[in-house]
Amino acid sequence: MRTFTPLRKIAALAVTGMFALSVSACGASGSPADSGSASEQLTVGFVAVGPEGGWRTANEENIKEAFKNADIELKYAPATNGDQNSQITAFTSFVDEGVDAIVLSATEATGWESSLKKAQEAEIPVVLLDRGIEPNDESLYTSLIAPDNVGISTAAAEWANKQFPDGGNYVVLEGPPGLSVVNDRNKGWDATVESSLKKVGSQSANWSTEEAKSVFETMLKSNNNDIQLVFAQNDEMGLGAVQAVEEAGLTPGKDVKIITIDGTKNALTALAEGKLSFVAEYNPLFGEDAVNVVKKAVAGESVEKNIVVKSVTFDSPEAAKAALPDRKY
Ligand code: AHR
């Protein structure tokens, strides 16, 4: 297990005046005093992706738990079937409602300017979680909290270069086109992978195991099985590639090495079994960071524009076996 990204650059938690006020408003018995301390509770709108896979579930549950533990009301608004319009509708409703802050995990990178400007005019801080916006106009949001996608895919390519000093053929199984995380994962990989490793295919499999199995089956057939490496941009797609390799009568980890990103238990189990070869964590557990940033933003304190969540990589069955007992997702 190797740590490669910059240490977590999280600003220290500043206990906001609002937070202290809500605590002091409680009576001696600890119950809310008559002074309407409940009205002091912050309300935050969470414009979320919704059900998407293991990583997303872990991330959204961690965010919900962190805001609950902070006694902040979090209004959860998952997208309808990943549709950005449903997110924009929820975002607008939160602005009209006058929430204290909005946290946003976007299903699309583009198309957010007018919504973000509406929140800005209403003086409602917006914190981006996991997903950035494009064009990346930093003036339109308070902060972006995410692991380093470019750094993660750079580490994956560095591992691939070492595994294939004499080169080989590879394919990329991408997330949905246009997402900031997909663009950044391509960016780090493309800038680092050696030219002796030849890309013979790349296609979106929309984070899906079933779709990735089908896509990679076709890639194997059209390349007469002459593919030695898969860069799968999330765990579910990498596990789909494992199924395709086995159905082709090949051995994953031997005939075809598969890289994935996320670091869920399913992926680390497959790495421990030798079916995956490299797993880069994309740490989803940053709910407390989101709470800290929201509290500071609502209190009018300055926060860092980009908060990089520490992630690690796993490059062997032994590393996976050592990590699995303590994994939280
Ligand atoms: O934005 C993060 C990506 O979204 C994860 O890598 C993937 O599993 C999720 O669906």
| pLDDT tens by residue, 151-196 | 999 999 999 999 999 999 999 999 999 899 999 999 999 999 999 9
Give yes or no: residues 190 and 296 share one domain. no
Give yes or no: residues 48 and 133 share one domain. yes
Q: Which residues of 130-143 are buried (b: 16+ CB within 10 A; e: fewer)?
A: bbbbbeeeeebbbb
Number of domains in the chain: 2
Distance, CA of 219 to CA of 232 (rounded, Å): 13
Residue 15 lies in a domain: no
Task: Return the pLDDT at 40.
Answer: 81
Q: DSSP for 37-54?
A: GGGGS-EEEEEE--S-SH
Residue 197 lies in a domain: yes
Q: What is the mean pLDDT of residues 41-52?
A: 97
At residue 226's C-alpha, the angle toward residues 222 and 228, to 5°, is 125
Residues 5-44: tens digit of each pLDDT? 444 444 444 444 433 333 333 333 334 444 444 458 999 9
Give yes or no: residues 128 and 85 share one domain. yes
Residue 289 Cβ < 6 Å to ligand 1: no
| Residue with CA closest to ligand 1 atom 4 | 56
Distance, CA of 132 to CA of 211 (rounded, Å): 25
Chain CA centroid to CA 142, Å: 18
Q: How far is CA 180 from CA 1, 12, 184, 186, 242, in A?
A: 26, 27, 6, 10, 26
**Can you give the CATH number for the domain in which 114 is found?**
3.40.50.2300
Asked if the model's pLDDT at residue 54 lies above 50, the reply is yes
How close is the Cα of 87 to the center of ligand 1, in Å? 17
Q: Which position has the token pair 């995410």? A: 146
Residue 227 lies in a domain: yes
Residues 210-268: tens digit of each pLDDT? 999 999 999 999 999 999 999 999 999 999 999 999 999 999 999 999 999 999 999 99
- What single DSSP character describes residue 257? E
Q: Which atom of ligand 1 is nearest to the CA of 264?
A: 8
- What single DSSP character describes residue 256? B
Residue 146 Cβ < 6 Å to ligand 1: no
Residues 286-311: tens digit of each pLDDT? 999 999 999 999 999 999 999 999 99
Residue 286 Cβ < 6 Å to ligand 1: no
* Preceding amide of 135 cis, omega within 30: yes
Residue 52 Cβ < 6 Å to ligand 1: yes
| pTM for this model (two decimals) | 0.88
Residue of 49, 52, 128, 237 best suited for mutating to test ligand 1, as the one with most atoms within 8 Å of CB: 52
- What single DSSP character describes residue 316? S
Residue 17 lies in a domain: no
Residue 160 Cβ < 6 Å to ligand 1: no
| Complete edge-to-edge strand list for the sheet that includes strand 101-104 | 73-78, 43-48, 101-104, 126-129, 143-146, 306-308
Residues 112-155: tens digit of each pLDDT? 999 999 999 999 999 999 999 999 999 999 999 999 999 999 99
Residue 181 Cβ < 6 Å to ligand 1: yes
Give yes or no: residues 192 and 321 share one domain. yes
Distance, CA of 99 to CA of 61 (rounded, Å): 21
Residue 33 lies in a domain: no
Give yes or no: residues 171 and 223 share one domain. yes
Give yes or no: residues 126 and 170 share one domain. no
Partners of 256 in beta bridges: 252
> In this structure, what token pair is assigned to residue 188?
């780090």
Give yes or no: residues 188 and 270 share one domain. yes
Q: What is the mean pLDDT of residues 97-101?
A: 98
Task: Return the pLDDT at 65.
Answer: 98
Distance, CA of 19 to CA of 13 (rounded, Å): 11
Higher pLDDT, 2 or 236: 236
Residue 270 lies in a domain: yes
How close is the Cα of 54 to the center of ligand 1, in Å? 9
Residue 238 Cβ < 6 Å to ligand 1: no
For residue 7, the tally of other CB atoms under 10 A from its CB is 8
Give yes or no: residues 134 and 247 share one domain. no
Give yes or no: residues 173 and 213 share one domain. yes
Domain that holds residue 125: 41-145+284-308
For residue 17, the tally of other CB atoms under 10 A from its CB is 12
Give yes or no: residues 321 and 186 share one domain. yes
Q: Which atom of ligand 1 is nearest to the CA of 131?
A: 1
Strand 43-48 and strand 101-104: pairing? parallel
- Which amino acid would we find at residue 181? V
Give yes or no: residues 138 and 85 share one domain. yes
Give yes or no: residues 127 and 58 share one domain. yes
Residue 30 lies in a domain: no
Residue 29 lies in a domain: no
How close is the Cα of 263 to the center of ligand 1, in Å? 11
Residue 131 Cβ < 6 Å to ligand 1: yes
How close is the Cα of 89 to the center of ligand 1, in Å? 22
